[in-house]
Structure formats: C-alpha cells, structure tokens
Structure 1
C-alpha cells in the first residue's frame, strides 16, 4: 500500500459513452451529422414500451430526458428525438482503443467499467498532473474521436468524484485539501455509493449535504446503517485506501510517443526524446517484471507520413542502456532527414523476467545493469524522474 499523500490517481470517464462511441463510429464511416449535436439517445427496442434510454446527448438533456427512462416517455418530451440502437461490438472496440492508449502512460491501470478506468501515474508523471491529464484528454478527443472527463486526486474515490465535475470534456482535481471547498457543499446524494433510498434515510437524519454527513457521528451512522454507515462516512471525509489493481488482459506490447508543438529537424533533439521515451518504457517493464524481445521506433513526418523500424533481440531485456541503444540505432537507420512531428518507441513480445538464459559473462553484465537500473528507479521514485538524466 502506497501512502495516499504520495499517490497521483487519474479517473477517466467517457462522456455519454454509448452515444459518443456511436457518433464517433458513424462519422468515421462517412456520416456528416454528429448525433451529439442534436437531441438524440441510445435506446433499446422502440417498438415496445420496455425500451429505455441508455445514453443521451446534451441537447436531449435540455428537454428533461434522463438515462433510464422509457423511450416512450422520452418521445413525449421531444417527439423528433433521434433514437439509435445500441451496438456493443462498437462500444467494445472503442473501449479497447482507449485502454490501449492509456497503457502508453502507465501499466497501473484498472478498468472499472466499459467506459471508465483508474490510472496510478505516481511513478509515471511526465509533467504536472493537470498538464499530463490535459494531454491525455486531448489525445483521446483528437485520435479516437470522443471526449472524456478526467478526475485527479490522491485516491480512487476522490479522483472518481472529481471526474463528475463540470462535464463534458474537462479535467478537475479533488485533493484532500480541496474536500471542504469542492466536496462538502454537494448534495449527499451525489456521493459515490449513496443512492436514492439512502439519500431519503439520511435526509430524515437532517443530513442533506456531504459535509453534514462527514461531520456526523461515525458511531451513530454505524449503529443505524452498520458497515455501510461507516463506509459512506469515510467517503464523505475523502478516506479511501484501495489500490489501483491492474485487471486488463496480459499485455504483449507497451509503447510511448510524443507529438511536438514544433517540428524537430536535428538528430540530437530526436536522441534526447528517444532516450526519455525509452527510459520510461524500461522502468515500466521492470514494474511489470517483464522483458521485451523486440523494439521498434516510429516516426511521423511534418506532412503526416508514418513509418517505423523494428529489431528482434537475441535475448529479452529490460535494460535502460540496451533499449536506448537499440532505439537510437533504429532511428539512425530509418530517419529520412525530414522534419519530425512525432516520435514513438514500442517494446513488444513481452515475456516474464527470468524467462531466458545467457552465458555466464552476460549474466554478470546483466546483474550489474539490473542493480544500476533498480538504484536509478529507486532514486527517481523518491525524488522525481528528472533527478537523473542522460
């Protein structure tokens, strides 16, 4: 368990996921009308009165249409409502695309549902947390075609609450120091795990806001609601010690890339970026207790042409030095000397650490490098990534 004060947790939540993904997919296939800009919903079988609203556009929301109500009721509120049938294979495809993109930032990812997940970026910060989250939000919008809210905090609960603020397409923080200002004034029904029935019971105790719940007697709440009462009291006070538990399928590749605000045209600038990308990836490999069998470098030129170069290794590795050396070699072999818009490094064919055998000489060398890499990891974990650089 990490100290909550030291952790940086992101919660990523797709805005109106099913509707956003349906819209993104339709426009990718040539549709001109963006259903997010008109009163529209994703809904079940409209021919029966049992069909319900699964997701709604902001325009539909203005007419009082809510998630979970019947399509029959929604039509009465706005007769010209556009209803789109759900397509779960499309949703799974876009969800996976988002997870693949997020795994470029950290291996510590927990998918909470098809449209939301937690990232522990404590040891993978590339910038100030807000700037890093904004970069992720913008990449998802630009590359995948839909928007997300990102909440930032020191624990999962507060990060999730933060992601609910100021929708859509926003980054918000809710650190422990901000609880009194940002969390406590909210209606108690907005607290995670407090539903409609619980809200009614709390209101009978004259608890109407999260702040009133936080300042209520924990013992009285426990006596009235048992363990649930203590849990929601802790949540109201921002207490959550749970870890981000990786639950995605076994990764076969990890990658990292950066897009430049201005094109770069010299090899030294490219080397500097490649070293940074490679170091980040090798650190993530060691966190996963993995080694890679193959390394590739990808380049996007200023005129948006993409090309890459790959090398299969004799022995799997997680070594900073080896990964950097190969990445620079690949770049030199493939770069066409034109201005560069994007650089990326990918490590593929991942295997468990210790899977391979080497000669005695290689083992000795490898042990020395591992000791050095672990020492560097430890220093950076404690003092920040920039404390040591090549």
Structure 2
C-alpha cells in the first residue's frame, strides 16, 4: 500500500440489491418487465402472513412500503404490488461477480455484507479528479457488465465513506471528506448517523439533540454519563473520527478483464473490432495504472444462444501497449469467431508481472519502438485522466461516439 498519501476509501453499496439482482436476472431470461420500474418487492412466504419485505423498488417505496414490514401490511399500502420470492444462490453469484470487478482495482477489499464492500484505493489517490474518475469507472463497469447500479461513497475515513454512500440514490457517487462534514453531515437528523438506533433517537431528542451537528457539539462527558461507552462512540462518529482500517484478505491480482453485453447482437467483424478496441483501451489503461504488464491475453464471445467460448495466447514477452494488445485481440477474434451473432464480448489480460523493463540501448531498434509506443500511451492516459476519456478517440470509433 502506498505510504505518505491521504487515505482514499470507497464504500460501495448495491441499490436495492435483492430486487436489482432479481430484476437483472429476469431481464436476461427474456422478461420484458423490469421489476425496478414497477411497484415490486422481494419477500418471503406471503400466504403465511409471516413474510417480510427484504427489498423494494423506488415506486414501492413511494407507496410507503419499508424494508422489514410484513407483506400483508405492504399489500394494504399498494394493491397492485408484485411480490417475488428471494433467490439467495443468485444473490451470492451477483455479489461474487461484483467483487471480481473490485479485485481488478485493489486487493484491499472488505466484504461488509452481501451487497456492501469497503475498498482501500489509496494508491489511486493522486488527485480529486483521479479519485472521482476511478469511482465512476467502477460504477460504470458494474452497470455495463452486470446490469445493476451501485452507490459509491468516497472519503479519507472509512465511516464517512459509508455515510456518503447513503446520500441521494440510486446510481450516485458522493464524497464526504473530513473537511466536508459540517456542510454535508451535520444538518442531517441524528438518526441517520451510523450506529444510532431507533431506540436511541428519542433519548437523544430528550437531550435536545436532533441533528448530527447537535450531537457533534454536545458535551462528550454528558453523553458518556447517559449512554456509557456508546455515547463517546456516537460523539466521535458525529465528528468524523474513525481510525478503523479496511479489513481484507490480501490476494494477488492475477488479471484484468472487461466485458460488455451488447444492446443489439453484432453480426459483422468490423463492428466487433470496434467493441474490442474499446475494451482493450479500458483494460490496458488499468494495466498501466497499476504498473503491470501481461504475458497472456484472452477473449470471450457469447452467442445469441448464451453459449460462451474463449481463446487465449501466451506472449513471448510481457506487454502493456494498447496497440500490441489490440493486434493480438483481433487475431484471437478472427481465429475464434464462428460467424454467428454476438451477444457479449470480453477481453482479459492475465499472467501479470511488474513493468520494470531493462535499460534500453540506443542501437536497439525494437526497444526504441516499444518505448515510443509506451510514451504515446502514457500521454493519452494523462490527457484522459485530466480532461475525460473522450478527449482522445481513435478515428475508427469517432463516428460511433
């Protein structure tokens, strides 16, 4: 982990996880109804009257339905409510797929719950622009590759990143750094502070503590008198004080991959090439970001019958060059594609190594060529980081853009 840098912590929370995962799965199976766009909930046994709401759509929420209430009660609030039984195997699979994406960016991932994770991405904390770009990059990949949305909270403190992810939903990125808590946090009702339960709120209100700001400015000794050790903890949280770290089981990053499910099936090679070029630009940029090169390149094709097939190649020497990877990917595609309509394309860069290259000689033409190409890639990376990824576009993609 990089030292002497301000911490950068992401809290990533799936929007209405069980409902979103169920909706995405049903759409992939051919349903023409998106449960997220109707009054729908995920719940248990409705006939027994013991079933409860596990997740709800925004429309169901507007009807007053809350998580944890009985399905019997929810039906009274919304007569046309659609109730779908939970599928925990599906949820585990969706959660696992999401965390594979996290692993492309950092090994420092703490699984807080099935639909929530903390990521320590301090190594990317070179500027506010870079941090935001990373958040939108992760969010965009989840939406494009997996079909559901997340909220991302960004902070230099783990607690505050979680609070930030609870701000406006869905599909949002929010910051809540220590220097922003007075403006963004203190005006909120005290019950919205993490670890302040429903039973605690009336007791705080009786002490004239109604907002998080009231709590932050309260006499901490008086809070300890009334709430013991939890009083001190609440006071610290209200002031953005949290020294906890992202707890993780470190694993070595083995590869970087990116795939896209196409809105319309592709039926010709040139259109497939354009998609592959975009996928390579994305993966190769991330490869250079973490100062790695790859020895192995593979592509995946999914046809209209949802059958996947892949092909890979091991290179004689590792590379991080966009142009070289594009050339290899096109060759793999030509050898793999059977001519049928394509529903999904994926690119994977594996067998990674450090990008520490030997000192080159001015008489080594091949190495000079490589270094020139690497310099071009770095310039493009820097421009996109500063001005956005559309500042430099390959001419073959310009018409589509």
TM (norm. structure 2) is 0.71
In 1, the alpha carbon distance for the partners of 2:21 and 2:231 equals: 37
In 2, the alpha carbon distance for the partners of 1:22 and 1:272 equals: 31
Query: Is 1:18–1:86's contact at 8 Å kept on the other side of the alignment?
Result: yes
- Which runs of 5 or more residues in structure 1 are unaligned? 286-291, 314-321, 354-365, 370-384
Q: Aligned ranges for residues 288-303 of structure 1 at < 5 Å?
A: 295-296=296-297, 298=299
Given the alignment, which residue of 227, 230, 234 partners 1:228?
230
In 2, the alpha carbon distance for the partners of 1:137 and 1:219 equals: 42
Given the alignment, which residue of 315, 318, 324 partners 2:319?
324
In 1, the alpha carbon distance for the partners of 2:64 and 2:4 equals: 40
Partner of 1:57: 57
In 2, the alpha carbon distance for the partners of 1:90 and 1:272 equals: 31
CA pair 144-330 structure 1, distance change in 2 beyond 3 A:
closer
CA shift for structure 1 position 104: 1.1
CA shift for structure 1 position 139: 1.8
Query: Is 1:125–1:132's contact at 8 Å kept on the other side of the alignment?
Result: no
Q: 2:188 matched to 1:186?
A: yes
CA pair 60-105 structure 1, distance change in 2 beyond 3 A:
same
CA pair 64-4 structure 1, distance change in 2 beyond 3 A:
farther
Query: Residues 272-310 of structure 1, C-alpha deviation per residue, up to 9 Å, x if partnerless?
Result: 987754444556x9xxxxxx9x6325599xxxx997533
Partner of 1:40: 40
Query: Is 2:108–2:249's contact at 8 Å kept on the other side of the alignment?
Result: no
TM (norm. structure 1) is 0.73
In 1, the alpha carbon distance for the partners of 2:75 and 2:136 equals: 37
CA shift for structure 1 position 323: 3.7
Given the alignment, which residue of 238, 241, 247 partners 1:239?
241
Partner of 2:350: 347
Q: Secondary structure at the match of 1:6?
A: coil
In 2, the alpha carbon distance for the partners of 1:32 and 1:273 equals: 31
Partner of 1:24: 24
In 1, the alpha carbon distance for the partners of 2:49 and 2:109 equals: 39
Query: Is 1:185–1:209's contact at 8 Å kept on the other side of the alignment?
Result: yes
Q: 2:118 matched to 1:118?
A: yes
Q: Secondary structure at the match of 2:199?
A: helix
Query: Residues 51-85 of structure 1, C-alpha deviation per residue, up to 9 Å, x if partnerless?
Result: 10001111111111111000010111112211000
Q: 2:6 matched to 1:11?
A: no
Q: 2:133 matched to 1:134?
A: no
Query: Is 1:4–1:154's contact at 8 Å kept on the other side of the alignment?
Result: no
Q: Secondary structure at the match of 1:167?
A: coil
Given the alignment, which residue of 168, 171, 174 partners 1:169?
171
Partner of 2:312: 309
CA shift for structure 1 position 328: 7.8
Partner of 1:254: 255
Q: Secondary structure at the match of 2:255?
A: strand
CA pair 282-298 structure 1, distance change in 2 beyond 3 A:
farther
Query: Residues 28-68 of structure 1, C-alpha deviation per residue, up to 9 Å, x if partnerless?
Result: 11010111111111000001111100011111111111110
CA shift for structure 1 position 134: 1.6
Query: Is 2:145–2:259's contact at 8 Å kept on the other side of the alignment?
Result: no
Partner of 1:95: 95
In 1, the alpha carbon distance for the partners of 2:190 and 2:84 equals: 34
Query: Is 2:256–2:287's contact at 8 Å kept on the other side of the alignment?
Result: no
CA pair 273-28 structure 1, distance change in 2 beyond 3 A:
closer
CA pair 125-104 structure 1, distance change in 2 beyond 3 A:
farther
CA pair 331-32 structure 1, distance change in 2 beyond 3 A:
closer
Query: Residues 74-133 of structure 1, C-alpha deviation per residue, up to 9 Å, x if partnerless?
Result: 111112211000000011111111111121111111111000101111103586222221
In 1, the alpha carbon distance for the partners of 2:243 and 2:3 equals: 9
Query: Residues 318-370 of structure 1, C-alpha deviation per residue, up to 9 Å, x if partnerless?
Result: xxxx64379987665554499xxx9955334x99x9xxxxxxxxxxxx9x99x
CA pair 204-103 structure 1, distance change in 2 beyond 3 A:
same
Query: Is 1:27–1:34's contact at 8 Å kept on the other side of the alignment?
Result: yes
CA pair 195-247 structure 1, distance change in 2 beyond 3 A:
farther
